[in-house]
Structure 1
């Protein structure tokens, strides 16, 4: 499949970033984390579409407000998800078409480590969108704040008495005392998740994770025998 013209040049530059990307030995305070959130018309990557994307960079233990992304995509029809994110078809009349939004996303991401809450959904939606226009998919390493939270609690990284029953984004905000401002918008949820990541990185460092490989290994869900 030939890439869509809007993506072809950007994809070439994107692929080159991974010729020398972050290694497992990279110190955590040197890694650029791209905290990402997508609002979508539904949960099925094949039938549904991305409505908006928001991202913010985290590096050296700080949120970098100069390193942000906010994209609005053209919506072809309203769905029940409009009641959640509030983005209607008419509100996106002048928004980006999917290939142009993907090109902007790839330029922003580079080889940054993607972070998100329940990020597998976002990654599947983006990969499905890419597949509609180009013979490629995301190559970035990624980290899920929900999975990481469970493993950090197992290691008593927040203290022996710390407990959490609600692993939703709202639940983690309550655990860390973060005001859930601007919820259910892509930029707002990305910023909230970035605040959670900062606290998780500090706890991971205290528990002995100082390099990227340590953190990614900690955050991976356990694999069944034979896999």
Structure 2
């Protein structure tokens, strides 16, 4: 067995990752937005873990109700103190998959869409940490933050943050299924459309 063959084998990436990267090469970027949210065991991106990912797509300024995504992740790390926030039990009734499979399905769902979230950097970093545990690169998608959009609209300083609850109250958005990944992604999608229209983007 030659060293060059061994080195090449180490450099080879799994098919799902190559498929994901192919969406960013040699073609016009998608006009699809994916609004997503992660529920996690806590707020430390390196130490905490993803519990669920929820997402919904927007195309032509309309929420595509049949184009949605939701997975629950097997809890290798369990923090009972976080359960009252997200409501996900370690041995709950949800069908759970391992983190690697959740990431594979998420990449297949998002493709080259622009990712949108409220304080989205945290969710992006959670996904990137999970990709790192698979020895892969980081997300290539462009992304937008609804909090940053509101700051721009109101000419606020970048440190003047607003919570999702506050903006829902301001724009009279019903907070159904709050603190679930799928519920928060749908709420954020409604907020995104309102801000996008006001910003004329």
Specify if TM > 0.5.
yes
Q: 1:125 to 1:107 in 2, by over 3 A?
A: same
Give CA deviations for 1:14-50 in whole Å, capped at 9, x if unaligned.
Answer: 0000014656xxxxxx721100100000111211100
Residues 74, 96 of structure 1: 8 Å contact kept: yes
**Structure-1-length-normalised TM-score:** 0.77
**CA–CA distance in structure 1, aligned partners of residues 11 and 68 of structure 2:** 26
- Judging changes above 3 Å, is the alpha-carbon distance between structure 1 residues 21 and 116 closer, same or farther for their aligned structure 2 residues? farther
CA distance in 2, matches of 1:201, 1:21: 25
1:137-179 residue CA offsets vs partner (Å, 9 max, x unmatched): 1100000000111101229xxxxxxxxx871001111111111
Q: State which of 10, 17, 24 in structure 2 corresponds to 1:18.
A: 24
- Which residue is equivalent to 2:190? 195
- Cα distance per residue 1:57-99 (max 9 Å; x no partner): 0111110011100010001243122110010111278511011
Q: Which residue is equivalent to 2:106?
A: 105
**What is the alpha-carbon distance in structure 1 between the residues aligned to residue 69 and residue 135 of structure 2?**
22
2:58 equivalent to 1:58? yes
Instruction: Check conservation: 1:74, 1:98, Cα contact below 8 A.
Output: yes
Determine whether 1:169 maps to 2:175.
Answer: no
TM-score, normalisation: structure 2: 0.87
Shift of 1:182: 0.4
Shift of residue 184 of structure 1? Answer: 0.2
1:135 Cα deviation after fit: 2.2
Count of residues paired in the alignment: 189
In structure 1, list runs of 5 or more residues that go unmatched.
24-29, 156-164, 210-227
Contact 2:147 2:161 in 1 (8 A): no
Unaligned runs of 5+ in 2: 1-8
CA distance in 2, matches of 1:66, 1:180: 20
Map residues 37-76 of structure 1 onto 2, 5 A cutoff: 37-76=37-76
**Matched residues in 2 for 1:73 and 1:3: separation?**
28
Structure 1 residues 93, 68: closer, same or farther in 2, change over 3 A? closer
2:115 corresponding residue in structure 1: 114
How well do the aligned residues superpose, as a CA RMSD in angstroms?
Answer: 2.3
- 1:186 to 2:181 alignment: yes
Matches within 5 A, 1:135-150: 135-150=136-151
